[in-house]
Each structure stands twice: as structure tokens, then as C-alpha cells.
Amino acid sequence: MTREVHHYIGGSIVQGTSGRFADIYNPSTGQVQGKVALATRDEVTKAIDVAEEAQKAWGATNPQRRARILGKFVNLVRENMDELAALLSSEHGKVLADSVGDIERGLDVVEFAMGAPHLLKGEFTDDAGKGIDTYSMRQPLGVVAGITPFNFPAMIPLWKCGPAIASGNAFILKPSERDPGVPLRLAELWTEAGLPDGIFQVVNGDKESVDALLEDPRVKAYGFVGSTPIAQSIYTRAAELGKRAQCFGGAKNHMVIMPDADLDQVADALVGAAYGSAGERCMAISVAVPVGQETADALVQKMAERAKKLTVGVSEDPKADYGPLVAKSALDRVIDYIGQGEAAGAELVVDGRGLKVEGHEEGFFVGPTLFDKVTTDMSIYTDEIFGPVLCVVRANDYEEALAMVSDHEYGNGTSIMTRDGDAARDFAHRVDTGMVGINVPIPVPIGYYTFGGWKASGFGDLNQHGPDAFRFYTKTKTVTERWPSGIKEGASFVMPMGDQS
């Protein structure tokens, strides 16, 4: 019997009523393993109705009490880690160890959000003027929503909902329809942890659900991660409606390799950063920029040796370095881009096409692919491929490499591999991207710093997690107060001065 995934509204699973479903595949077999209901506009409205009512009491709850529920939730997720990781891998395709990492990195942010009693504190100044005190307070927005992608079905929903819920908001999640199982299970664990009904809800769906969330005036803010065109569209629409939005799009992350770098260490770091999770990471390194021809020749040789030794297998295979792509359409896209690179004249050093895993011949597998002598006008360089394809673009000197990273349309993350502290410091200060790694291949910040790209990789003034998340999910109210002292001053028609005198 085909498994069906529905919605989570008001503290329980609610059967979808639209009659519309999307297929859920097992990427390792290529077979349909279930169906997910696609919500109607009325179903989304029902979730918003419930959220709006539930948020009133939740927003008035002491932040320390809210934090305690977050702590219970973290413990429950860890107790159920094996189940969650297996479910995630079965729908996404990433290997089990990577699925555990997906969940743990999400929990990092929920743990950070447990500091809400401190992070929500306002400011206070006594005697700002004669007998006048001024203070500020952070208050929740109300109902907020997250629209999250397939590649991190646990981490990114947790990045969004943790700070939002800790801040006193009600949160509605619209996850990817490709791997909806984990988000629904997380909803059940929130309820088990003691979160009031309606504060975390899941509505599965497509564009109809997203439009319903965007257009309802009661939803005050949106967190989105996905492609750049949709990120920009949602950000623009939210701005037109006077709502907040943090929208993160595509990426083309470069690693600059200086001639003084240890190339064996670089190759070990790069092979994981480029091919881990089949390249389906917004922070994957998809472009290597060796500085100097000698550096490039040596690096390509080392990368080719390592790429050919990687094991691609089913998600539950403990020996597999990475698993299949998430969908047949993703597989077709990656294969098409490899063909484009060949046609454009790039040197195909390792070709991952045609890979078959024994017993799983219909799975969505593609092997590690390595291009050398790629130029910046080729589509494999300009576009985000989102697969296990690494492009080597040679730079003659440091300044050319720096310009290459900074001039690209995307500005998510980058890294530099070097033993030269001066070059590293200069790169960190001058490069035009939002996140930088120095001898760190994937510079994903820890949970108490913010995560976000620049240029076409990010839209909005505030980033994900860290203090920015609490600023995004709250509004600041400033109070200026004076209590009667018996002094008769009479009416004043002059604008109050800065010292309130």
C-alpha cells in the first residue's frame, strides 16, 4: 500500500481534501514510494486561522517557559535520530551519516534559540530626561511562515522555526513536496515536547499553497530557501504587500587555491565539498580556482585520482560516499549540463554519466564529474548545476582569482586555501560574498552567527539564524515614560530635545 503524507494542523495530522497529490520517490530505486497531499487555499487558510488564535497565548508566555519546550524538543529529536535519519535518506537520497548531519545542524540553531530570554531583552535608559525613562521591548510578529527546499528537509525548517517559535510567533511550514516525511514527524515531536497546538503546523503543497500564505494579511513574515528566480519573486511580492521576507537563492561557490597551499589537504577537502550529498548543497564548492598553471596541473591530477575512487551507492550503504540525486528531473539536468560543458570545449577529466549501482539500476545516480580548463563564459560555470560536478577554472594570479569570485552573479560562500596569512586576510576583506572560509572548504557558520549570501544569492536585510533571526521575527517597541511628580510645567509647543529636557 502506498504511503500517504498529509498536513499537520492544530496539533494533529489532518487529511488533505484537494484530491491532488505529488509522488514521493525513493531516489535509490527510482520508484514511487508514497504520495503527498497538496493543500487547497482553504486548507492553508484553516492553518492560519488556528495559528492566529494559538499565537495570542503563546506570545504572552514567558520566554523562559518557551525555551524549556525547545529543550524538550531537542532531546526528543535526538532520541528519535535513527528513525528520522532513515526517513530523510529514503526520500532525499543522501547517505545516513549525512542525514544525521542535516538534523544536527538544525538542532544547533534550536539550541541557540533556547537563549531567547537573553536574546529578546530590550534596552533601558533611566533619566533620559528630567524624570523620564526610555526603554525598548521586542515583541513577536504573530503568524510567520517558512517555505523550504528539498536538499535540507530537516535543517532549514529547524533554522526557520526555532527562532520564530522562541520569539513567540506561530509558525507555518510549507516544505518541499519531494521529501515531506521528516517535517511532518518533527511536527509530532513538537507536540510531544509540549508545544501548544497550532504553534507549529505543516501544510504540504505547491504554488497554490505558497500564494495562499503570501496573500493572507495575517502572515507577517516569510523565510524562503530555493532557486534565485523564486527567491526574488517571493521577496518582491512580500515587499509589495508590506511584509518581511528573507529569501535565499542559488549559489556558485568558489575555492581559491594558492600556490603555497598543501595540495593533498586541499584535494581531500575539495573532494568532500564538491561531491558530498551528490553536490545538492547550496554551500557545495562547485568551482576550484587554482592560481598558477603548475598549481592547476597538480590539483587536477590529485582530484581525478580521488574522484575515481569515490563510492556512489544507495543511501543506507555505510560504504557509500554519497547517494543518488533527489529526482529523475535532477538527474536529467545534471547530465544535460555535463553535455553542455563538453560541447563548449571544457576538458572532461572524469565523466560521471552512465553510472549504475548493482541492484538499483533505476536509481537517480551520477558519478563524480571533473572538468578542467573551464572558462567563465561557459554555462557550467555561470549556472548552478546542483550536482556532483566540479569545474576547474585556472587563474594566472591572485588578483584574477579574487575578481573571478567577486564578479560572479552569485555571492553565497567562498573559501581560500593558503598558508599566507596576509593573502587570507586580504581575501576575507575584499571578496564580494556573504560567507568566507580560510582553509575551511564549506564555510557554514555555527548557529550563533548568521548565515546568508550576497548578490543574487540572498534577498533581504536580515540573515538566517544567529541574532539576525530574532531581529527578523520580532518588532521593536520603544517606550518613553514619565510619572507625575507634582511639578506644574504648563503646556509646551516646542519639539522635545534629544535629552527630553
Helical residues (DSSP H) of 114-245, grouped into ranges: 116-119, 155-166, 181-192, 207-215, 228-240
**In a domain? residue 7:** yes
CATH of the domain at 289: 3.40.309.10
Whether 360 and 473 map to the same domain: the answer is: no
For 5-57, write each residue's pLDDT tens digit. Answer: 999 999 999 999 999 999 999 999 999 999 999 999 999 999 999 999 999 99
**In a domain? residue 466:** yes
In this prediction, residue 2 has a pLDDT band, given cuts at 50, 70 and 90, of confident
CATH of the domain at 39: 3.40.605.10
* pLDDT (0 to 100) of residue 499: 61
Q: Is 435 exposed, middle or buried (0-12, 13-18, 19+ CB in 10 A)?
A: buried
pLDDT higher than 60, residue 417: yes
User: Is residue 29 helix, strand or coil?
Assistant: coil
**In a domain? residue 451:** no
pLDDT higher than 80, residue 218: yes
Whether 181 and 282 map to the same domain: the answer is: no
C-alpha span between 355 and 252 (Å, rounded): 25
**In a domain? residue 496:** no
pLDDT higher than 70, residue 328: yes
The domain tally of the chain equals 2
Whether 161 and 46 map to the same domain: the answer is: yes
Gyration radius of the chain over CA positions: 25
Whether 166 and 260 map to the same domain: the answer is: no
Whether 287 and 147 map to the same domain: the answer is: no
**In a domain? residue 446:** no
Domain that holds residue 473: 3-249+457-478
**In a domain? residue 299:** yes
What is the rounded average pLDDT for all residues in the chain? 96
C-alpha span between 14 and 63 (Å, rounded): 29
Residue 480 backbone class (left: φ over 0; alpha: ψ -120 to 50; beta: rest)? beta
- DSSP annotation string for 54-121: HHHHHHTS-HHHHHHHHHHHHHHHHHTHHHHHHHHHHHH---HHHHHHHHHHHHHHHHHHTTHHHHT-
* pLDDT (0 to 100) of residue 197: 98
Whether 319 and 466 map to the same domain: the answer is: no
**In a domain? residue 489:** no
Mean pLDDT of 332-360: 97
pLDDT higher than 90, residue 422: yes
SS3 content of the chain, % helix, strand, coil (to 5): 40, 25, 35
Whether 352 and 462 map to the same domain: the answer is: no
Whether 281 and 171 map to the same domain: the answer is: no
For 263-317, write each residue's pLDDT tens digit. Answer: 999 999 999 999 999 999 999 999 999 999 999 999 999 999 999 999 999 999 9
Could you give the percent of the chain with pLDDT greater than 70? 98
Whether 143 and 264 map to the same domain: the answer is: no
Whether 344 and 466 map to the same domain: the answer is: no
Which positions are catalytic? 282
In this prediction, residue 492 has a pLDDT band, given cuts at 50, 70 and 90, of confident
pLDDT higher than 90, residue 497: no
C-alpha span between 447 and 158 (Å, rounded): 11
Whether 135 and 242 map to the same domain: the answer is: yes
**In a domain? residue 390:** yes
Residue 203 and residue 171 in contact, taking contact as beta carbons nearer than 8 Å = no
Mean pLDDT of 119-127: 95
Give me the half-sphere count of Cα atoms (radius 13 Å) on the Cβ side of residue 410. Answer: 27
Whether 24 and 144 map to the same domain: the answer is: yes
Helical residues (DSSP H) of 397-473, grouped into ranges: 398-407, 421-430, 467-472
For 311-324, write each residue's pLDDT tens digit. Answer: 999 999 999 999 99
* pLDDT (0 to 100) of residue 500: 52
Q: Cell 564529474 maps to which residue?
A: 369
